[in-house]
Amino acid sequence: MKVVGAALVMFACTLLGFRVARGYRERPKALRQLLQALIELQSEIEYHATPMPQALRAVGTRLGGWCGGWLVEMAKVLTEPAHAPEIALQSVSLASATNGSLQDADAEPFLRLLRSIAVADRDHLQQPFLAARADLEAAIQAAQEEANQGARLWQYLGALTGVFIVLLLL
Amino acid sequence: MSAAHSNPRSALAQVIAVMPRDMALLFQGLGNDLLHELEEIRLRAGQPLELCLRQRSAFVAESGELTSSPHRGVRVSADELAQVLQRLTQFSRYAVEEDARHGYVTLPGGHRVGIAGRAVVEAGRVRAFRHVTSLNVRISRDHPGAASAILPVLYDRVSRRPLSALIVSPPQCGKTTLVRDVARQFSYGDLAPDHPGLKVVVIDERSEIAGSVDGIPQFDLGPRADVLDGCPKAEGMMMAIRSLSPHVVVTDEIGRMEDAEAVLEASLAGVAVVATAHAASIDAWRRRPWMERLFASRAFDRYVVLSRRRGPGTVEAVLDAEGRPLRRGGAEAR
């Protein structure tokens, strides 16, 4: 019985460690998807001059998944008359869309980009895209480094915590 | 395709969608009779909200009633105006840059919104408007049958071919409505009982004739109409002649040298052109640069002069290629 109990505790703690580690690994992946969305949005807007709601919808539909859903939701709030567009954009939560892999603050480079290009003419579209891309690439690099350290740490920590609890109980 | 805008509320839906919530509520409270008469909505920063109706203009009071007193009218704030502008441009100024440079933006459904403010000039040309202080929303409406009265003079029964025609009037006399119905009736084949209908290409540079949304016409232009939406007129006419084999090319507001050349080219290619132009009379139109040449070359077989004397679409005169009257009188086209 004791052995079964100890095995269960070990299993639960290790699982918990792996779950936290997965969160660390998901973050750079999710940020890479945001970057991919940004690149596709740039082509849609810079080369085709597609209005923002249509561009967000088109890219969102192409990408699918949480990122596609998030973009389509932004396109929707932009066309709803309830709020001013800038306020409406902030109401679409990135944290909810990614189930917590990203925080709402991670959307800031993207939202800043949308605010900039909303008032830009065609000759001045490239600069905000380059700036947003640089911000996202920096965030990806930081998240990747964090993931490399944090994911392994939490995997070990989960297993070791399990061992520690088992030793305490025995 | 749908016969958009037969109901005044649906005609206004796309306009109300760009209004801030409080302003939208005021419009929702207006009666159908009033909406039927509504021609323009004028928004000026710090000034009362003005509605231009068919025969009068009025301000909207806070209660939603119309008043002739500007002091009782609901004032439009600079913030509200900025919000309307953001929605008009769909949060994408780059997408409407070319139109805005010419002082307007077209809303889905063909409603044209005129812009006034401080012009940004570069190399002697207006590049954009900043500090926008006024917007004029011109309500676009569909009147199927508006062209029925003039259709017989736009068709040669002997050769069984459509004739080129220029529809001339000052602003707000129903030129676009008329030209849209000409396109529709040609396309449906409403010219003669045994006529199969004509291939019509609509060059809709300002998206007012077809009122396209995402390239899809919102007004019914019949089964044989192709629309070049947002396409410059002269370039569009040449593209249409080369690749779409039209019987008729329909376009709005010709006036530039390249427009005149494209009309000439079309007439030489045996394609009828139905176009409109801003002018009070044919003589005034001929005084424009390049237009006298167009007149002298007899590119148009017919000239139709409109006015608002008995309401928008009043046909004042129909002239032949040499400017001689075919008929005269105050028939209402619509």
Domain B8-138 has CATH 1.10.246: no
Residues of B with Cβ-Cβ distance to A121 under 8 angstroms? 93-94, 97, 127-128
Tell me the residue length of chain A: 170
A73-to-A69, B17, B184 alpha-carbon distances in Å: 6, 18, 37
Instruction: Give the Cβ contact number of residue A23 at 10 Å.
Output: 16
Beta-carbon separation of A121 and B93 below 8 A: yes
Please tell me whether the overall predicted TM-score, pTM, comes out greater than 0.80 for this model.
Answer: no
Q: What is the pLDDT of residue A87?
A: 77
Q: Are the C-beta atoms of residues B78 and B88 closer than 8 Å to each other?
A: no
Token pair listed for B278: 């801003």
Question: Chain B residues with CB-CB distance to A under 8 A?
Answer: 16-21, 24, 83, 86-87, 89-97, 127-128, 214
**Mutation for B interface: A42, A119, A129, most B CBs within 10 A:** A119
Q: Are the C-beta atoms of residues A136 and A13 closer than 8 Å to each other?
A: no
Tell me the residue length of chain B: 334
Q: What is the pLDDT of residue A16?
A: 87
Dihedral of CA atoms B7, B13, B170, B148 in degrees, nearest 10, equals -30
Q: What is the pLDDT of residue B3?
A: 42
The ranges of chain B annotated as CATH 3.30.450 are 8-138
pLDDT lower than 70: segments of chain B:
1-8, 327-334
CB pairs under 8 A between A and B: 61
CATH architecture for residues B151-332: 3-Layer(aba) Sandwich (3.40)
Chain A residues 54-83 with CB within 8 Å of chain B: 54-55, 78-79, 81-82
Rounded CA separation B225/B204 (Å): 12
The ranges of chain B annotated as CATH 3.40.50.300 are 151-332
Token pair listed for A69: 């859903």
Rounded CA separation B129/B116 (Å): 7
Rounded CA separation A62/A54 (Å): 12
- The yes/no answer to whether this complex scores an ipTM above 0.95 is no
Query: Residue A127: enclosing H or E segment and its boundaries?
Result: helix A126-169
Query: Mean pLDDT per segment of 10 residues, for chain A of length 170 residues?
Result: 85 85 85 94 91 94 94 89 72 85 88 90 90 94 88 81 84
Q: What is the pLDDT of residue B331?
A: 46
